[in-house]
A and B are shown apart, each in its own frame.
Chain A
Amino acid sequence: MPEAPEIAATYTGEVASSKRERGDRAHGPRRLFRGRVLFLLPAVIYLLALFAYPIVYDILLSVRQSSVITFVHNTGGFVGLTNYRMAVTNPLLPGVVWNTAIFMVGSIVMQFSIGFLIALFFTRRFPLSGFLRSLILVPWLLPGVVTGIILRMMFDPNIGMVNQVLSNLGLIHSPIEWFANTHLALLVIVLANIWIGIPFNMLLLHGGLQDIPNELYEAARVDGAGRLRTFRSITLPVMRPVIAVVLVLGFIYTLKAFDIVMIMTGGGPMNGTQLLSTWAYTLSFYNLDFGQGAAVGTIMMVISLVCAFAYVRTYRGELRS
């Protein structure tokens, strides 16, 4: 373990300064240190084996040659950035990036706005509010496959409820083939993802709203501020850190989205709902081009990591305050 010497250094440095540690000396520092590390060691090994190693493996895959032959024998040679070049110049890439962008912006904007409105509504006091609020969490707790298949049925051209409601309202005269048109299919998976995302946004934002001290609102009322003004001058500024966390998490999760797209459209029709995540899967597991698939995966990971650091920074900022 590369960590071991560092831990040891920490231990000797800290034992003298920290009052809490002093009583431990009787047991002998070395034995104690070993005892303590044993609690953390499984987790460290776990993280190295099941996160660090696969990540490195993925990067290595992305810079090695891959074909059906190397897939079987695992003997691809180093080819530098060829796989990345192939992915970037792939004729499908512009469409996939566009779909991913639409999917992410549409999902995040809508799930955040609707989630925020519902969260604001549930700050009111009325009977059963806690119970009803917890029911809203259901879509978020459901496995993605369940959500995907239910919504797939609701948008079914023949028996789906959506077409039926639209035709009852007189808005359409013949059934809409939701999954036969690239734009409509993309719209449907965005709607599905919004439905999944609302509860999560609502939950975190409601938590943040509950933590705003009532005195602030009262002070605003005394000063004669209206509702909109209070929202703009008090709610929004106080909620900034929570909003940042919600948006960053939304970004990371939306980029990862995979299950509902696979279930509802499988990336089709004609790659019209192919996102970076499903495309990486298709490249590796359908085309057996693990090099290119891994290259796309690595690009996603980099985007995610950039965002993760923003997340960690806001998260730490929130902890301090």
Chain B
Amino acid sequence: MSFQRRRRLISGLNVAVALVIVGVMLLPLYWAVVTSLKTLHQSFATPTALFPPTPTLAAYSQVVHTQGGSLLTSFIIALGATVVSLLISVPAAYALANFRFRVTWLVTLSLLVAQTIPGIVLGTSFFKIFAGLHLLNSYLGLIIADSTYCVPFSILVVRAFMIGLPRELLEAARVDGATLLGTLLRIVIPLSRPAILTAALFSFLFAWGDFLFALTLSTSNTVEPMTLSIYSYMGQYTSQWPELMAAAVFAAIPSAILLILVQQGIRGGMATAGLKG
């Protein structure tokens, strides 16, 4: 066998092994999609069909019908939490990256520690505190609670990026008479777009996927995000698998979008920021 052919063979083998690994890791997701395309009757058939015999979107239209409101609720809350998170974290990251206060280390340390606090601790306290503020069963309450997933992470990611920006640019802006705010708005934010986008996307995803706060901060189903609605739906109709899987696929859409958008930049700064609770 020639050297060239051997190399091609090894490379082919590597791809094959990689495909097997990816296949195993994505198998549950494949299974969810297949089940969502079946009819209720087909989903109970044994042996289970590996492909939907007569693919139908009935389960999806059913989900849009019964849980469309929850999808919208989740969207509003996730968007709100993302906006709150960016409004707080971008200026903070700018300050932590460029100005040296004595408390800088303390703030940074607090951000790292904040990410380790178990959600159930915050959830329990929020429940008591929000009850007094009439924030239970409200969009605002969930936006505030969900933003706790995002703010520490966003500050750390954006700050890590801003530290790498060339000092000369900021100096030049100052010489030109730009204010601190002007420098942030006109120079730092445009240059930090990749990091801010990453922070925004992850913030959206964290808030979208939140289950713990939705569970603890709701006493009625007036404001019911997707995660909570899947949970209660599952409790009532344990074996409506096609519909449950269609709901799961809907709930997974932001993850898919995020994967596509940040596929390249996903590694940068992640290790040091500490990710996801």
| Nearest-CB residue, chain B, relative to A38 | B91
- Which A residues have a C-beta under 8 Å from some C-beta of B? 3, 6-7, 9-11, 13-14, 18, 20, 23-24, 35-40, 42-44, 46-47, 50-51, 53-55, 57-58, 61, 74, 118, 121-122, 124, 126-129, 131-147, 149-154, 156, 158-159, 161, 164, 168, 195, 198-200, 203-204, 207-208, 242, 245, 249, 252-253, 255-256, 258-259, 262-263, 277, 280-281, 284-285, 290, 293-294, 297-298, 300-301, 304-305, 307-308, 311-312, 315, 318-319
Across-interface contacts of B270 in A (CB, < 8 A) = 203-204, 207
Q: Chain A interface mostly helix, strand, loop or mixed? A: helix
Within the assembled complex, what's the spacing in Å between the Cα atoms of A43 and B147? Answer: 12
B227 closest partner in A (C-beta): A145
Q: How many A-B residue pairs have CB under 8 A?
A: 313
Q: Which of chain A's residues have a CB closer than 8 A to the CB of B230?
A: 145-146, 149
Residue among A39, A74, A252 facing the most chain B CB atoms (10 A cut-off): A39
B180, A138: Cβ atoms closer than 8 Å: no
Contact A153 B32 (CB under 8 A): yes
From residue 127 to 147 of chain B, which have CB atoms closer than 8 A to chain A? 127-129, 132, 144, 147
Interchain CB contact under 8 A, A259 and B212: yes
**Inter-subunit contact B102/A7 (CB<8 Å):** yes
Contacting residue for A46 out of B88, B123, B216, CB 8 A: B88
List the interface of chain B (C-beta within 8 A of A).
11, 14-15, 17-19, 21-22, 25-26, 28-29, 31-32, 35, 43-44, 46-48, 87-89, 91-92, 94-96, 99-103, 106-107, 109-129, 132, 144, 147-148, 151-152, 155, 167, 171, 174-175, 179-181, 184, 205, 208-212, 215-216, 226-227, 230-231, 234, 239, 241, 244-245, 248, 251-252, 255-256, 258-259, 263, 266-267, 270-272, 274-277
Can you list 11 A-B pairs, Cβ within 8 angstroms, ordered by A? A36-B99, A39-B91, A58-B124, A142-B255, A145-B251, A146-B209, A153-B31, A281-B216, A305-B113, A315-B112, A315-B272
CB distance from B19 to the nearest CB of A (A): 7
CB <8 Å contact, A154 and B31: yes
Contact A207 B267 (CB under 8 A): yes
Q: Known contacts being A7-B101, A198-B25, A252-B116, is A141 close to B258, with CB within 8 Å? A: yes
Q: State the CA gap A245–B112 with chains docked (Å).
A: 13
A141 to B198, CA, bound (A): 13
A304 & B234 in contact (Cβ 8 Å cutoff): no
Contact call B128/A207, Cβ cutoff below 8 A: no
Q: In the complex the two chains form, is A290's CB within 8 Å of B124's CB?
A: yes
Bound complex: CA A300 to CA B124 (Å): 13
Chain A residues contacting B234 (CB-CB under 8 Å) are: 149, 152, 263
Are A195 and B125 interface neighbours, CB within 8 A? no
> Given A55-B121, A137-B266, A285-B216, are A50 and B148 neighbors across the interface (CB < 8 Å)?
yes
Given the complex, which residues of A lie within 8 Å of B208, measured CB to CB? Answer: 143
Question: Which listed residue (A40, A146, A277) contacts B248, Cβ 8 A?
Answer: A146
Closest chain A residue to B209, Cβ basis: A143
Contact among B29, B155, B171, B227 with A150 in the assembled complex (CB-CB below 8 Å): B29
Given A46-B88, A144-B209, A242-B271, A253:B277 Cβ within 8 A? yes
